[in-house]
Structure 1
Amino acid sequence: MKLFLCGDVMTGRGIDQVLPHPSRPQLFESWVKSAVEYVALAERSAGPIGRGQDFGYPWGDALAVLAQQRPDARIVNLETAVTTSEDAQPGKGIHYRMHPGNVPCLARAAIDCCVLANNHVLDWGHAGLAQTLASLHGAGLRTAGAGGNAQEAAAPAVIALPQGRVLVFAFADESSGVPRGWAAGRTHGGVNLLESLSLHTADGICRAVAAQRKPGDVVVVSLHWGGNWGFEIPPEHSAFARRLLDGGGADIVHGHSSHHVKGIEVHGGKPILYGCGDFLNDYEGIGGYGEFRGELSLMYFPELDAATGKLQRLQAVPMRTRRLRLERAPAEGAAWLRTTLDREGRALGTRVVAADDGGALALAW
């Protein structure tokens, strides 16, 4: 069973402005008051972009990679609300939204599941969350990690395949910037927020997964955790992820929130992606943190034995964002990603080598 996983997919704000149905561009940021400014920043950095682009425009070369790799299921962390709500959360510095009319952008990449347990899905209030859920479900897209109440937010997305099911359980941690008040409750909507990153919490997830897991299921636990910058993996992240794998609560841990790639571990034959990095965003042209190469990203393609959940192979295709569009990373960027993951994986028992497939990287463990 081959999966496609990636880091944060943010198709709102500036990217939303170049699609066929741009939202009202008003923002409430300290320095930028219009989403159009993010388009201008990208154009000053790399050249003209234009407006009214095709729904497939932001995916760029990633569409050809997906066609070549042919994953059985495609799972992304969608880090934007999909709404026309004007209820911008007060006191929050950044608000992301994509117009519901631009949902075909996600369908264009044939996304199977949008993880919503993150720190931007409620940027435009509970009305914005409700419209996000309705827009995605109306387009046939599964969601995990947010819902109209706690039960819905905790329910896994179920992707049925000929060789078995993929269950996607999604959680957010306060360390990623999710306010405690965003947690879904018995009678109100919100995100599936972790109580803590304790082993006790991990054991509770394992029990919840066991209650729904059937023989042949592959379980993805998607976690929005940690800060935006820094390669260090907190000890509580490692202990939490390993406990999920050891306790049967996950076959793969899909971590995100960091704006750059982080090291990969294989524990008990099963992978932990501690931080997949940003995959698609409108940060182009913004200065700072250049040493982390946030414009570079990876398309992760883990292949798992459907009977055991064990990792058979993991390939990753280097990409970069340019002109608000994904393209294959240049040789220099691909080399940086390989060197960085190899360095960060050393303490985790993994190495990154060139794959047989042109330009792809492969994990060795």
Structure 2
Amino acid sequence: MNSNRVAAGTGIYGSTSNQLSGPLGIFVDANLDLYVADCFNDRVQLFQSGESNGITVAGSESLHQTIELKYPTGIILDAEKYLFIVDLGTNRIVGSSMNGFRCLVGCYGRGSQSNQLDNPSGLSFDRSGNIFVTDQGNSRIQNFLLMKDSFEKEKDLLNYLLQLKSIIIFKNILFSSKMAMNKQEKILINLAGDVMIGRLIDQLLPTSVHNPEEAALVHQFRLSRSLHCPYLQKGKYNYETIWGNTLPLWKEGNFNIINLETSVTTHDKLWPEKVFNYRTHPDNIACLTTANIHHVSLANNHTLDFGIKGLEETCDSLEKSGISYVGASKTRQHALGPVYLDIPTTIEKLKPVPISSTTPRSSTSIRIGLLSASDHPSDWSSVPSFHLITYDLPQLYTQLAPLIATARLNCDFVIFSIHWGPNYQWIPDRKIQELGRWMINEGVDLIHGHSSHHIQGVEIVKRQNQTYGLIIFGCGDFLDDYAIDKQYRNDLSALFRLNLSISSSNLDNKKSIHLHSLSIFPVRCSNFQVNRLEKEDTDWIWIQQKLLQLSKIDNKTWTIGEDNNIVLDINS
């Protein structure tokens, strides 16, 4: 061989159609078309024979909606032109069919079970179409068996499935719409406390509001910290940077919720006599869409920092980005809620869909009802479209009972996000505890608490019907630019992941939802970025011990998971 040519790429990493970044797996078909797993661009590129410009056939920026990828490393094309991809970042194998892409193996997260993978890197087929996967993190090669093309009866199909521990579907099998085969057994709900992307974080992002004083502070931070934190260099801090290594966790969630602790506005008129006022440029809502944030609570003490006009622009920005919200709004009815979203339960994660209470139920989704309120600041009682509560409990119960009842009647699972209690207090006030237990017994399934600036305990509440509700009293500050309190460690918090078990009736589409477990992923916010902690880190241990100390979980037990997480089994 005495000549060669570049088959794809320019020799310089990039993301244009003729460039690649970290290519790993390739496949050449009978037509000499080249398929490339363009790892760091999170896509698969097709370079047709003789062409230097690629076509994105899967992943980011594809012409047609396909599937989201994270560090694809291996690809194979079968004789029917269906594509199979090793997606390292999500620890799964995905494949295409006449109905589009779907997850085939590793659909329930990273792990060591027979249907899970840990850092897969390559795949291959045998003559029968069975698939072999290099499962690096588990030090093994996984063999997934071919499912037969068809079965005469649904009973035969179910019997076949029961006999296999790991199954992958390579052909187009027609499932009855009433079969449970196309549904997840669990839904993952990710929650975090306060996310404040205003002030100095706003000034670091590509687009920021006009504030010379904050811009000058950011300049000083860049001079003093860029050597230690290269991402703080000008032009490098972006919408992904803020999430650090927590981003894959958000991508795994079926439904992601935060408390948005800032106005999203260019309006510059401050709420009178308020000490701290936070805002971020409307373009920076991309921080939320980058992490697949689906819903935010706006009932907190910074939503109206820039007045009603600032709130209205915040609502407009969220609506344009397809992010649901409740707790504060342009109308009182929307602020009080409930608002509803249908969360798809199909194998491939699809975006939650905002709907009304009268929208017909679907057999392939669960319906979540969302409410939100705040107990401060009292000055905002003059704004009807801000849901403010006080602790005259009999009156408060009268106020909240119809909202909870309406949500309970029209959905499968109710979440109440609430900004309550003073800053820096380990144990919530007695009235807060009483309110939380009352809400659970009224029909709320999960209370998403925040405001204290640090983590507080969780409590499992067993209702009279023997089902469980969960109170997270304080999720802590997830992302911000705040000074650190050395006693309360407001720089330490967690991503809280609720695992829901679902069973449904094929006759009326009604769902039975159970709180299966709570997974807690400890994090630390430092230098305008949040990152997960390893369990050997002293801060990880500090968070674990605080949760043990502060929580009321009856006879339930904490365990350490396989992914540096803390697991609370609720109802297995």
TM bucket normalised to smaller = 0.7 to 0.9
Task: Confirm or deny that 1:267 pairs with 2:453.
Answer: no
**In the alignment, what sits opposite 1:323?**
527
Name the CA distance, whole Å, in 2 between partners of 1:345 and 1:121. 30
Secondary structure of the equivalent of 1:303?
strand
Q: CA deviation at 1:4?
A: 0.7
The answer to whether the Cα contact below 8 Å between 1:149 and 1:184 also exists between their aligned partners in 2 is no
Q: CA deviation at 1:293?
A: 1.5
Secondary structure of the equivalent of 1:191?
coil
**In the alignment, what sits opposite 1:218?**
413
The answer to whether the Cα contact below 8 Å between 1:42 and 1:323 also exists between their aligned partners in 2 is no
The answer to whether the Cα contact below 8 Å between 2:405 and 2:442 also exists between their aligned partners in 1 is no
AA of the residue aligned to 2:333: Q
The answer to whether the Cα contact below 8 Å between 2:296 and 2:326 also exists between their aligned partners in 1 is yes
Distance 1:116 1:216, change over 3 A: closer
Query: Which residues in structure 2 correspond to 1:110-189 (within 5 Å)?
Result: 110-162=292-344, 163-174=365-376, 178-185=377-384
**In the alignment, what sits opposite 1:344?**
550
Task: Confirm or deny that 1:64 pairs with 2:270.
Answer: no
Secondary structure of the equivalent of 2:456?
coil
2:200 pairs with one of 8, 14, 21 = 14
Secondary structure of the equivalent of 1:206?
helix
Task: Confirm or deny that 1:244 pairs with 2:439.
Answer: yes
Distance 1:144 1:137, change over 3 A: same
Name the CA distance, whole Å, in 2 between partners of 1:54 and 1:169. 31
Name the CA distance, whole Å, in 2 between partners of 1:236 and 1:35. 42
Q: Structure 2: which 5+ runs fail to align?
A: 1-186, 345-364, 463-467, 503-510
**In the alignment, what sits opposite 1:353?**
559
1:302 pairs with one of 473, 489, 498 = 498
Name the CA distance, whole Å, in 2 between partners of 1:215 and 1:181. 30
Question: Which structure is richer in relative contact order (CA contacts within 8 A, separation 6 or more)?
Answer: 1
Name the CA distance, whole Å, in 2 between partners of 1:169 and 1:341. 25
Q: CA deviation at 1:136?
A: 0.9
Q: CA deviation at 1:328?
A: 1.5
Distance 1:309 1:215, change over 3 A: farther
Distance 1:267 1:213, change over 3 A: closer
TM-score by length of 2: 0.57
Distance 1:157 1:346, change over 3 A: closer
Structure showing greater Rg: 2
1:227 pairs with one of 422, 426, 435 = 422
The answer to whether the Cα contact below 8 Å between 2:380 and 2:386 also exists between their aligned partners in 1 is no
2:234 pairs with one of 43, 47, 51 = 51
AA of the residue aligned to 1:333: D
How many residue pairs are counted as aligned between the two chains? Answer: 345
The answer to whether the Cα contact below 8 Å between 1:146 and 1:153 also exists between their aligned partners in 2 is yes
Name the CA distance, whole Å, in 2 between partners of 1:149 and 1:101. 24
Distance 1:64 1:264, change over 3 A: same
AA of the residue aligned to 1:20: P
AA of the residue aligned to 2:301: N
Secondary structure of the equivalent of 1:122?
coil
Q: CA deviation at 1:14?
A: 0.9
Task: Confirm or deny that 1:204 pairs with 2:424.
Answer: no
Larger mean CA deviation between 302-311 and 267-276 belongs to 302-311
Structure 1, residues 187-234: CA drift from partner, whole Å, max 9, x if none?
A: xxx411114361442353232222243465211000001111020121
Distance 1:40 1:338, change over 3 A: farther
AA of the residue aligned to 1:9: V
AA of the residue aligned to 2:568: L
RMSD value, Cα = 2.2
Larger mean CA deviation between 57-66 and 208-217 belongs to 208-217
Name the CA distance, whole Å, in 1 between partners of 2:422 and 2:220. 27
Larger mean CA deviation between 341-350 and 133-142 belongs to 341-350
- Give the strand-richer structure, 1 or 2: 2
AA of the residue aligned to 2:248: A
Task: Confirm or deny that 1:73 pairs with 2:73.
Answer: no
Q: CA deviation at 1:66?
A: 2.5
1:96 pairs with one of 263, 278, 284 = 278
Q: CA deviation at 1:294?
A: 1.2
Secondary structure of the equivalent of 2:214?
coil
Secondary structure of the equivalent of 1:147?
coil
- Give the helix-richer structure, 1 or 2: 1
Secondary structure of the equivalent of 1:297?
strand
Q: CA deviation at 1:41?
A: 5.4
Distance 1:220 1:197, change over 3 A: farther
**In the alignment, what sits opposite 2:539?**
333
Distance 1:79 1:155, change over 3 A: same
Name the CA distance, whole Å, in 2 between partners of 1:94 and 1:304. 38
Secondary structure of the equivalent of 2:424?
coil
